[in-house]
Structure formats: C-alpha cells, structure tokens
C-alpha cells in the first residue's frame, strides 16, 4: 500500500467539505475559525519569501518569477494555524479484523483516517505531526507543514505494524514534550487500554484539545456468532471458551454498557469522540467530528 492509496478517490472528494478546527484556538465551545492572525495561505497579502521544497506551487508568484527568474511564495495574513497531532495506537489489538474482510483491520482503517487528517491539515496550511505507539515504544515525526512533511508522515503510517502493548507512563514522556498546550491531538484507538484513556484524560486536563475515534470491528458491535468459540486476547494471551449463541445477549448488553460508560467518561473530560466500525466509510467519523452543524460529542444512550 503506497502513501497516496491510503485515501480512496471517493473519500478524498468528500474531504473537501471538512475543516480541522480547535475549540481551544477559537476560544469558543463550538466549531469556528481560528481568531488570531498569522502568515500562511490566506486572502490578505502580507509578504514574499523564498520558495522552499514542499511549498504548494499555487503559492508561487509567477509574475514575480518572470521579472526576477527566482521563485517567491506569497505569504498572507490568515487565521492562526493549528498544530494537529495524530496519536496512533498500533498495539497488537489493532490488528484485529472481521472474518468477512480479513485484510481490513482496525489499524488499516486508522492509517487511512490519519492520512485524511494530514491531507486536511496540509490543505489548510496547518502544522501536523505523528506519534505511532507500537511494540511498547513510540515513533515520532515532529509537527511540520507542507507536502514533503505529509509524505514523511505517510511513509511512517504505511510501515506501522500492530504489535506489543501500550508503554508505561515514563515511556510516554515524548508525548508531553511534543504536544503543547492548545495543540489538537486525535487519538485513533480501540480504547480498550486503561493506560490510553488515562493519558488522553491528562492531556485534556492540561489544555490540549483532544479528540478520539474509537475503532471497532463489526463482530464486536454485532456479535454474530452462534457456535462454540474460543476468544483470545492478543495482548495478554488470555483465552475464553464459550457458547457464543447462548452468550450473545449478555455480551451485547455488557458491551453497550461499557460503551455508555466510556462515553460518559470522555464527555466528562471534555474530549470530543465518536465510534467507528469497520463496515463504515473511512471518513464517516471525520464527518461526525468536523462537518459543520454536527454534534461535537457522542451522545450516551
């Protein structure tokens, strides 16, 4: 899977209606424009600067090039840029897929959604970074901007494998060193690890704008099994042998209760969050988070 292939053409077309926004930057509780002013790709001209690799060709002043034989980029006053981070859970449980679509795992969906975020940030001229948590360690690409930086993030996404468990608190210090106050951070995870939830609660309490997409399999959501089944926790190795048909109602009730509890917990922390199942369109959770007029919090049943 190459970088550009992470976003199918139909999804890329639907991204045109979305905009990454932060409540903390805008100072409002709802979605809005960033109020403070900075130089970027906006409407009001501010200054010229020399072209740098990764700048969008449309920003080049071609008339000035014709006069000077040098490339200059027009910088404009625009709404202040975000620093948007993707925090990608690539622990072993993210390798889970549904039997109906074995090659489409939680991690594959998370990669595609991360690529969409980078595309939106790049289009807006915002800064963005990537933190991949896999095999008990962190891989980090610092926040930057432009198409070259986007391609570096896509390269790391493509290479990421689901392995290991979430590292301990001491090993997560890089997250605090890189993600600053008022930055926006999107966690892509199955949300089954208490260490993950505790981390994003602390980030939100420390004035980071935290969003969360919980990625579920269809089988977790619907529990379509009717025969005897052995369920294995890929991170702990624990096994459960059960009559799936007899256990289905109890499972669905317990799963719904767990989701309600999670929703209440994240709402209390001020974390915007949505759930996504593997049979949905890749951009469905992004539409729920960022489309104008949509609710910003998932309702608790």
Q: Where are the domains of the chain?
A: 4-30+81-218+255-290, 37-79
**pLDDT for residue 95 is more than 90:** yes
- pLDDT, one tens digit per residue, over 46-74 is 566 777 665 667 778 888 888 888 888 77
Q: What local confidence, expressed as pLDDT, does residue 236 receive?
A: 75
Of the listed ranges 24-28, 97-101, 141-145, the least confidently predicted one is 24-28
Report the C-alpha gap between 279 and 295 in whole angstroms. 22
CB 195 within 8 A of CB 51: no
274 DSSP β-pair partners: 213
Calculate what percentage of the chain has a pLDDT beyond 90. 58
Beta strands (DSSP E) in the chain are: 37-40, 44-50, 72-79, 83-89, 97-98, 101-105, 127-134, 137-144, 184-189, 209-216, 228-232, 239-243, 272-277
CB 3 within 8 A of CB 155: yes
Higher pLDDT, 170 or 27: 170
**pLDDT for residue 28 is more than 80:** no
CB 243 within 8 A of CB 228: yes
Q: What local confidence, expressed as pLDDT, does residue 227 receive?
A: 85
Domain 4-30+81-218+255-290 has CATH 3.40.50.410: yes
- Reading the block at residue 101, the tokens are 């679509």
Higher pLDDT, 296 or 222: 222
Q: What local confidence, expressed as pLDDT, does residue 256 receive?
A: 96
How far is the CA of 178 from the CAs of 129, 137, 172, 175, 268, in angstroms?
9, 15, 11, 5, 25
Mean pLDDT of 114-137: 95
CB 212 within 8 A of CB 273: yes
280 DSSP β-pair partners: none
Residue given tokens 């805008």 in the structure block: 26
Q: What local confidence, expressed as pLDDT, does residue 260 receive?
A: 96
The 8-class DSSP code of residue 69 comes to S
pTM check: above 0.85: no
Report the C-alpha gap between 288 and 101 in whole angstroms. 24
- pLDDT, one tens digit per residue, over 214-265 is 999 999 999 998 888 877 776 777 888 887 788 899 999 999 999 999 999 9
**pLDDT for residue 42 is more than 50:** no
Residue given tokens 């579920």 in the structure block: 216
The SS3 of residue 165 is coil
**pLDDT for residue 10 is more than 90:** yes
Name the pLDDT band for 76 (thresholds 50, 70, 90). low
């Amino acid at each position: 899977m190459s970088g550009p292939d992470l976003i199918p053409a139909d999804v890329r077309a639907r991204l045109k209606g979305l905009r990454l926004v932060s409540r903390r930057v805008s100072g409002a509780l709802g979605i809005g424009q960033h109020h403070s002013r900075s130089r970027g790709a906006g409407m009001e001209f501010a200054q010229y600067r020399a072209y740098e690799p990764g700048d969008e060709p449309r920003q080049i002043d071609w008339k000035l090039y014709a006069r000077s034989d040098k490339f200059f980029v027009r910088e404009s006053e625009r709404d202040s840029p975000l620093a948007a981070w993707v925090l990608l859970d690539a622990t072993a449980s993210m390798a889970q897929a549904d039997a109906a679509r074995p090659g489409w795992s939680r991690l594959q969906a998370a990669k595609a959604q991360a690529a969409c975020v980078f595309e939106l940030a790049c289009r807006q001229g915002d800064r963005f970074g990537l933190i991949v948590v896999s095999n008990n360690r962190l891989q980090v690409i610092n926040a930057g901007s432009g198409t070259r930086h986007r391609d570096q993030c896509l390269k790391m996404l493509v290479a990421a494998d689901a392995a290991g468990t979430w590292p301990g608190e001491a090993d997560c210090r890089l997250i605090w060193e890189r993600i600053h106050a008022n930055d926006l951070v999107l966690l892509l995870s199955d949300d089954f690890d208490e260490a993950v939830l505790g981390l994003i609660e602390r980030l939100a309490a420390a004035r980071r704008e935290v969003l969360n997409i919980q990625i579920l399999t269809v089988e977790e959501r619907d529990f379509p099994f009717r025969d005897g089944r052995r369920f294995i926790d890929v991170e702990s190795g624990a096994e459960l042998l059960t009559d799936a048909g007899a256990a289905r109602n109890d499972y669905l009730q317990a799963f719904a209760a767990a989701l309600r509890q999670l929703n209440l917990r994240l709402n209390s922390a001020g974390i915007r969050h949505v759930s996504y199942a593997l049979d949905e369109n890749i951009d469905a959770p992004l539409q729920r988070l960022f489309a104008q007029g949509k609710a910003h919090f998932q309702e608790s049943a």
